[in-house]
Amino acid sequence: MQGDLLVTAYAEQRDAELLDGLGATRFAVHRAVFSLAVHQGSPLKASTRYIGVLVNAQSGVEVTAPTVRKHVLALVRDRLVLSYEPGRPGIRSESGTIRLEHPAEPADLLDADALVALSLGDSEVMALRDYRKAAQVDQAERSMASHAAFLKARSGY
């Protein structure tokens, strides 16, 4: 149900020509944010790197985490997304919560073009899955290195 509301909101923004003035990168970030929210729920909790992975997979646009953040903040300013609340900063990114405004009821018939634009294909799903696996490995390696440093300091070597 919520996904239908977000597809309707995306179609309404497109039909009102609110997306026409966005550059390629900002448009790609907007699409990725809506796509993730359709599939994961809203408010969307995601890191800027995670959004960047989807931007690249969907649109072929390479973006850094700070660039994603800049464009999300611009989308808030332009009222294309409701709000962005930065979360915990990480080593290469920051997490955050993005709230999207949507109508109270979905359209009677979902807009097919909007539905296709916000769908995640196999390549997008695989890119996000690969990112999550790599992030888990990075976290485990940092945790082991931290523990080893603690043990070394504790033993006095």
What's the CA gap between 122 and 128, in Å, rounded? 10
Task: Please tell me the predicted confidence (pLDDT) of residue 145.
Answer: 67
Question: What pLDDT does 102 receive?
Answer: 86
What's the topology of domain 2-119? Arc Repressor Mutant, subunit A (1.10.10)
Q: 31 with 58: CB under 8 angstroms?
A: yes
Give the 3-state DSSP-derived string for the chain, with helices as H, strands as E and coil as C. CHHHHHHHHHHHHHHCCCCCCCCHHHHHHHHHHHHHHHHHCCCEEEEHHHHHHHHHHHHCCCCCHHHHHHHHHHHHHCCCCCEEEEEEECCCCEEEEEECCCCCCCCCCCCHHHHHHHCCCHHHHHHHHHHHHHHHHHHHHHHHHHHHHHHHHHHCC
Closest CA to 10 of 39, 48, 52: 39
pTM score, two decimals?
0.82
pLDDT at 147: 60
φ, ψ (nearest 5 deg) of residue 86: -60, 145
pLDDT means per 10 residues in the chain (157 residues)? 92 96 96 96 92 96 95 95 87 86 88 94 93 77 67 70
Domain-wise residue ranges, the chain: 2-119
